[in-house]
Amino acid sequence: MKGTTPFLKIFTILVFLFLYSPIIVMVVFSFNESKSIGVFTNFSFRWYEKVINNPEVWKALFNSFWVGAVVTIVSLVLGLMMAMAVTRYSFSGKSILESLILIPVIIPEIAEALSLLIMYIFLNIPLGPVTVIIGHIAFDVSFVTIVMRARMAGYDKSIEEAARTLGANEFQTFFRITLPTLYPAILAAGLLAFTLSFDDLIKTLFTTGPGFKTLPLIVWSSAARGGVSPELNSLSSFALSISFLFAVFRLRAERRLER
């Protein structure tokens, strides 16, 4: 770019190095043959083999996926309804509702996790997949609503009126006009919701019951147990690549939205 000083270039490169070097080191050392973390000896898939042959990892991966799927679907339905309510109608308490939507995004996750746990204990709900899912939905709904609301701000309601003048009733209008035109926004919000659920550790940690583990939980518990190890490196890289994949999908969906 013209007018950019060399200083600015170097500064930018340094910032990005700072951001990404730990990840790069982790990924590089996941291919290290040696058990030592400090020295790279030989390229090998040895640790990946170990990860892949661990049934506990597969079970956790499966758990992460189905929890993510349920969370995404429920959050999308609730978030879409919420976003439609606040963008289309005016009602008393609307501005309070709009601030309430934001709060789960702002408050520290640890506080949210703890309060969820206290609530479950208070209500005597056994901890397990259900409590994990409810915990994830509780804040994914906010993210979905925020994304959808932003996308719906410029929505031209007259296409729905056009559909009605052409003989479509309210259901037909919703499923044939409203939903398809919002599809890119739904896709982007859905992928965001899934990624958030898939990556979540703190809330899962507080709200899960005995024996129910998601992928981040496995990573965390093996780190807590044995400290850093090459096996942990490859496990993390594995989890990272899945999250990365979903982030790419989401960016592509968003880019399509802008067109």
CA-based torsion, 114, 118, 121, 125: positive or negative: negative
User: Which is nearer to another protein, 146 or 177 (by Cβ)?
Assistant: 177
Rule CB under 8 A: which of 180-239 touch another protein?
Answer: 180-181, 183
Taking the complex as a whole, how short is the minimal distance between the CB of residue 34 and another protein, in angstroms? 55
Strand partners for 32: 43
The stretch among 99-107, 164-172, 195-203, 222-230 that binds another protein (CB under 8 A) is: 164-172
Residue of the chain from 93, 167, 210, 227 that contacts another protein (CB under 8 A): 167
Taking the complex as a whole, how short is the minimal distance between the CB of residue 252 and another protein, in angstroms? 18
Residue of the chain from 163, 186, 218, 219 that contacts another protein (CB under 8 A): 163
User: Which is nearer to another protein, 30 or 173 (by Cβ)?
Assistant: 173
User: Which is nearer to another protein, 37 or 168 (by Cβ)?
Assistant: 168
User: Which is nearer to another protein, 10 or 162 (by Cβ)?
Assistant: 162
| Cα gap 112→134, rounded to integer Å | 12
Taking the complex as a whole, how short is the minimal distance between the CB of residue 224 and another protein, in angstroms? 49
| Cα gap 235→47, rounded to integer Å | 8
At residue 84's C-alpha, the angle toward residues 80 and 87, to 5°, is 135
Rule CB under 8 A: which of 107-146 touch another protein?
Answer: none
162 binds another protein (CB under 8 A): yes
| Cα gap 58→60, rounded to integer Å | 5
Cβ atoms of 221 and 213 closer than 8 Å: yes
257 binds another protein (CB under 8 A): no
User: Which is nearer to another protein, 53 or 165 (by Cβ)?
Assistant: 165
User: Which is nearer to another protein, 159 or 251 (by Cβ)?
Assistant: 159
| Cα gap 119→19, rounded to integer Å | 37
Residue 9 token pair: 């270039």
| Cα gap 28→22, rounded to integer Å | 10
175 binds another protein (CB under 8 A): no
> What is the amino acid identity at position 30?
S
Cβ atoms of 42 and 29 closer than 8 Å: no
Q: What is the DSSP letter of 32?
A: B
> What is the amino acid identity at position 213?
K
User: Which is nearer to another protein, 59 or 164 (by Cβ)?
Assistant: 164
5 binds another protein (CB under 8 A): no
CA-based torsion, 98, 255, 215, 34: positive or negative: negative
Residue ranges in contact with another protein by CB under 8 A: 156, 158-159, 161-169, 172, 176-177, 180-181, 183
